[in-house]
Amino acid sequence: MRSIKFLLYRVRRAARPSRAERQRIWETVAKQLGSQGGAISWYYQSWFRVSIAALVGIVLISFGTGAYAYSSPDVTAGAVLYPVKLALENVEEKIKFSPAARARFYLKKIERREAEKATLQKKNKPSATLDSQINTAEIKLEKVERELREPEQREIKDQVRKALDKRHRDKTKINTSSQKD
């Protein structure tokens, strides 16, 4: 079924001035302005404004999507955004330079993996890859703990020690109960 708006649009389009016409008329006018004319400044071109608007939209959507992927425990292995989450984590890992920053990062990473594991277990899905990621993060955390020597790093060192001890105790409990079975 034809639309009246489409008909009106066709009429409007038929009367659209071409870029060449626009440019020619501008050159005539610009000569009067006392300049050499030249092309219409790019920032007034409609294609430029539309491109910038589209680019801003894409950047905003990307940021929003990335932020959601990164922080949500529901974004787990198998989800569409999971590679985005991992990629952002890899980038974050590379930009943590001090031992304290790396320690906080690994603590946070272990927390995130644990939250994802809980989500997968609720859905009765396997979480073996998460266990290996958690183990890797623990090993890195132990390495970083040995680098925390400065007095001002005391607090973070204690946090790391507490977290690692808790994890060791939990693993021991699990091993003990599985041996009894």
**Residues 146-165, interacting with another protein (CB under 8 A):** none
CA nearest 112: which of 150, 162, 76? Answer: 76
Distance (Å) of CA 172 to CA 13, 46, 107, 178: 75, 67, 20, 10
Q: Work out the end-to-end distance of the chain between its first and last CA atoms, rounded to an integer number of angstroms.
A: 71
* Residue whose CB is less far from another protein, 34 or 151: 34
Alpha-carbon gap, residue 161 to 163, rounded angstroms: 5
The reply to whether 35 sits near another protein by the rule CB under 8 A is: yes
* Residue whose CB is less far from another protein, 22 or 143: 22
The reply to whether 52 sits near another protein by the rule CB under 8 A is: no
Task: Indicate the DSSP class of residue 17.
Answer: P
Q: How far is the CB of 58 from another protein (least distance, A)?
A: 25
* Residue whose CB is less far from another protein, 21 or 155: 21
Q: CA neighbours within 13 Å on the CB side: how many for 164?
A: 21
Candidates 42, 44, 47, 97: give the one binding another protein (CB under 8 A).
44
- Residue 137: exposure state from Cβ atoms within 10 A (0-12, 13-18, ≥19): buried
- Phi/psi of residue 138, each to 5°? -65, -40
* Residue whose CB is less far from another protein, 23 or 159: 23
**Residues 14-33, interacting with another protein (CB under 8 A):** 14-17, 21-22, 24-26, 28-30, 32-33
**Site residues (vs another protein, CB under 8 A):** 2, 4-5, 7-12, 14-17, 21-22, 24-26, 28-30, 32-35, 40-41, 44-46
